[in-house]
Chains A and B, each alone.
Chain A
Amino acid sequence: MTANGHSVYLDHAAATPTDEAVVDVVSSFMKAVQGNAGSFHSEGKRAKDQLDAARSEIAEFLGARPDEILFTGSGTESDNLAILGYARAHAKHGKHIVTTAIEHHAVLETMQHLEKKEGFELTIVPVEKNGIVDAKKVLDAIREDTTIVSVMLVNNEIGTIQPVAEIGNAIEKMRKGGKAQYVALHTDAMQATAYLDLDVRKLHVDLLSINGSKVYGPKGVGALFVKRGTKLQPLTFGGAQEKGIRPGTENVAAIVGFAKALELVQGRREADASHLLPLREKLIEGILNTIPKTRLNGDREQRVPNNVNISIMDLEGEALLLYLDAKGIYASTGSACTSASLDPSHVIIALGMPFEVAHGSMRFTLGRDTTEADIDYVIKELPPLVEKLRAISPVRVDPKYYE
């Protein structure tokens, strides 16, 4: 489906291509090591040694200790384990939980499950118009019976950076002052990993989720940082792996690849950011300046260097996504039509935008291999497609949402 041989992949927030070096590490592990890391013999020990080495490397990446790292099957699973595991383990101390309106569904739906099915009281803190939560509003929501508080580090749709360290610091002070004794702060750091420092002590978090698919690593592997002394109830049972909190044979090949991917991230974070920032700005300018009736969703400054999210008024995102696809441009939309729930993006709605603006939101997420020529190509191809869809659309969005 590529036009003129063009293939411009701008959906790195969904999945990053696997780095060659990661593929090498994974495949040589799979060829060389066949044992179960839980087995008590040399072949098993080889797997165990590699697992332990990966755990130490990932701990170092997070500024944590190896025994604070649990491996899981995905970022979603890490989020679920953190929230369900902590809330259930501390239910006798309180059943109030807190999150923000723009969390990934892995957090939001897990929180809502606790509210609907397990008798928890949920406070969803709204965000400001720029897509950033006010730290004070999160702190104000905390009560004596609050247990888990979950605030993402970077939003997956609009790329805005949230004040997690500020919230974490304040919670630590509350605890030292004898208040909020059972509060734990969790952050979903999936979209931040490639761009921000994830030192857990600087972030002042108790639980932090990361995964492989956003950092040029393998898909289907995640990790959860669990600060020493933070008690979790397991979600699954039947083995001693990961301290019995996440039983099941470890996917050591993917874990080893994940560690390699994070090592690469560590080495090139700044270089990636300085490569991406001008490209991001060029794409934002290019779209806002050439296409009328558009708006950038989320704060212009406080966002990761690879995220562009723009609502294009009077059209529906899935149709534009498919027209772009035919031109070899791969992006993403907040339109209901591509979501399983048939509801449009809750993130764009949380910015105070109406449904039709959410239906027309387009997300372009850049990556290491994105070039200036890619951005030029998008800026050239996008306007006529928008014009075509607008021509057949009967809708005219209220100017107050884009002027």
Chain B
Amino acid sequence: MSDYSAKSVKGRKGDVSAHDGASSWFYSDEVKEHFFNPKNFIMNDVDESQFNGIGKVGSPACGDELRVWLKIDSDERIVDFKWKTFGCGSAIASTSMASVMVTENGGMTLDEARSIKPQDIMTRLKGLPARKFHCSVLCDKAIRDAINDYFRRTDQTDKMIVEAKRMIDPIAKVTDHDIEEAVLDGALDLEAVQKKTKVGVGNPTILPAVEELIRFYREKYFG
């Protein structure tokens, strides 16, 4: 599941260091190309009337904010994908790469676009440092958010897929999704996750379940 790091990121695992043993830049050549020459981004102001699926994820406070504007044609293929992002090098590169993947070869269908996984973007970028992984996780979420927006606009609300959440701590109102986010943000043990989410603070009976989830997401994303 997370063998991307073993394959693509040689050198010190989990650090933002050289992407291979030979060169000493931080990212792969593909990341570099999309970072220095990003594709499909929107300069300056956006004319939203040109698009029929708009998605957003993240916030500047947490370091990454991403907005995408999709143009979906009558065959429900994505023919245009524009974006803006506030984020680090890999956030910019992964969004740029995703915009290429979604629109190449006549454009993806909505089902195809919805099934893009962070790993797919990662593979095309020839790897990212492990701890940069959460940046591109944002991108697939923004695409799904924009597709839901399209279904909302076209009265196909039955096709919207709301990301399923499971309430883990009903007192602190923390879901499995919140814990996943915390792990992706680098909280790899209970103490760190509690610092971010307050899960189980004053509700210790759920702590074994929380620790189980942390282990699951940690293995899923960081191997």
Are the CB atoms of B41 and A318 closer together than 8 Å?
Answer: no
Residue of B nearest to A359 (CB): B63
| B155–chain A nearest beta-carbon distance, Å | 28
Mark B176-193 against chain A: 1 for CB-CB distance below 8 A, else 0: 000000000110000000
* Complex-state Cα separation, A394 to B56, whole angstroms: 10
Are the CB atoms of A391 and B44 closer together than 8 Å?
Answer: yes
Are the CB atoms of B43 and A391 closer together than 8 Å?
Answer: yes
Decide yes or no whether B86 CB sits under 8 A from chain A: yes
On chain B, the residues within 8 Å of A393 by CB distance are: 84-86
Decide yes or no whether B25 CB sits under 8 A from chain A: yes
Known contacts A355-B63, A395-B60, A342 near B186 by CB under 8 Å: yes
On chain B, the residues within 8 Å of A1 by CB distance are: 25
Extra pairs beyond A337-B63, A337-B89 (20, CB < 8 Å): A1-B25, A316-B64, A318-B88, A319-B89, A322-B26, A322-B35, A322-B89, A335-B63, A337-B87, A338-B88, A342-B63, A344-B63, A354-B61, A356-B61, A391-B43, A392-B38, A393-B86, A394-B66, A394-B67, A397-B60
Mark A329-373 against chain B: 1 for CB-CB distance below 8 A, else 0: 000000111100110100000000011100100000000000000
On chain B, the residues within 8 Å of A391 by CB distance are: 41, 43-44
Are the CB atoms of A394 and B89 closer together than 8 Å?
Answer: no
Identify which of residues 75-90 in chain B touch chain A, using a CB-to-CB cut-off of 8 Å.
83-89
* Complex-state Cα separation, A392 to B66, whole angstroms: 10
Are the CB atoms of A319 and B63 closer together than 8 Å?
Answer: no
Decide yes or no whether A206 CB sits under 8 A from chain B: no
Are the CB atoms of A394 and B186 closer together than 8 Å?
Answer: no
Most buried by A among B35, B43, B44, B61: B61
Residue of B nearest to A326 (CB): B36
Are the CB atoms of A359 and B16 closer together than 8 Å?
Answer: no
Are the CB atoms of A355 and B61 closer together than 8 Å?
Answer: yes
Decide yes or no whether B169 CB sits under 8 A from chain A: no
* A contact residues, range: 20 to 34
Are the CB atoms of A319 and B60 closer together than 8 Å?
Answer: no
Decide yes or no whether B22 CB sits under 8 A from chain A: no
Identify which of residues 283-341 in chain A touch chain B, using a CB-to-CB cut-off of 8 Å.
314-316, 318-319, 322-323, 326, 335-338, 341
On chain A, the residues within 8 Å of B42 by CB distance are: 392
| A268–chain B nearest beta-carbon distance, Å | 32
* Complex-state Cα separation, A391 to B25, whole angstroms: 25
Decide yes or no whether B92 CB sits under 8 A from chain A: yes
* Complex-state Cα separation, A397 to B87, whole angstroms: 14
Residue of A nearest to B85 (CB): A392
On chain B, the residues within 8 Å of A323 by CB distance are: 36
* Complex-state Cα separation, A318 to B67, whole angstroms: 19
Residue of B nearest to A322 (CB): B89
Interface of B is mostly: mixed
On chain A, the residues within 8 Å of B35 by CB distance are: 319, 322
Are the CB atoms of B63 and A394 closer together than 8 Å?
Answer: no
Are the CB atoms of A342 and B60 closer together than 8 Å?
Answer: no
Known contacts A316-B63, A322-B35, A359-B63, A395 near B86 by CB under 8 Å: yes
Identify which of residues 177-234 in chain A touch chain B, using a CB-to-CB cut-off of 8 Å.
none
Known contacts A342-B185, A392-B38, A394-B86, A359 near B60 by CB under 8 Å: yes
On chain A, the residues within 8 Å of B16 by CB distance are: 338
Known contacts A335-B63, A344-B63, A397-B60, A316 near B84 by CB under 8 Å: no
| B70–chain A nearest beta-carbon distance, Å | 15
Are the CB atoms of B88 and A392 closer together than 8 Å?
Answer: no
Decide yes or no whether B65 CB sits under 8 A from chain A: yes
On chain B, the residues within 8 Å of A336 by CB distance are: 62-63
Identify which of residues 1-19 in chain A touch chain B, using a CB-to-CB cut-off of 8 Å.
1
Residue of B nearest to A333 (CB): B88
On chain A, the residues within 8 Å of B84 by CB distance are: 392-394
Q: Which residue of A315, A326, A338, A342 is within 8 Å of B86 (Cβ)? A: A315
On chain A, the residues within 8 Å of B25 by CB distance are: 1
Identify which of residues 230-286 in chain A touch chain B, using a CB-to-CB cut-off of 8 Å.
none
On chain A, the residues within 8 Å of B41 by CB distance are: 391-392
* Complex-state Cα separation, A397 to B83, whole angstroms: 19
* Complex-state Cα separation, A393 to B64, whole angstroms: 10
The 6 lowest CB-CB distance pairs between A and B, nearest first, are: A337-B88, A356-B60, A318-B88, A394-B84, A355-B61, A342-B186
| A105–chain B nearest beta-carbon distance, Å | 15
* Complex-state Cα separation, A335 to B86, whole angstroms: 12
On chain A, the residues within 8 Å of B83 by CB distance are: 392
* Complex-state Cα separation, A341 to B88, whole angstroms: 15
| B73–chain A nearest beta-carbon distance, Å | 25
Are the CB atoms of B185 and A319 closer together than 8 Å?
Answer: no
| B13–chain A nearest beta-carbon distance, Å | 13
Residue of A nearest to B186 (CB): A342
| A220–chain B nearest beta-carbon distance, Å | 18
On chain A, the residues within 8 Å of B36 by CB distance are: 323, 326
* Complex-state Cα separation, A319 to B132, whole angstroms: 13
On chain A, the residues within 8 Å of B66 by CB distance are: 394
* Complex-state Cα separation, A333 to B16, whole angstroms: 14
Residue of B nearest to A116 (CB): B191
Identify which of residues 73-91 in chain A touch chain B, using a CB-to-CB cut-off of 8 Å.
none
On chain A, the residues within 8 Å of B43 by CB distance are: 391-392
Most buried by A among B35, B44, B63, B84: B63
On chain A, the residues within 8 Å of B185 by CB distance are: 342
* Complex-state Cα separation, A316 to B85, whole angstroms: 10
User: 17 A-B residue contacts at CB 8 Å?
Assistant: A1-B25, A316-B63, A316-B88, A318-B89, A319-B92, A337-B87, A338-B88, A355-B60, A359-B60, A391-B41, A392-B85, A393-B84, A393-B86, A394-B67, A394-B86, A395-B86, A397-B60
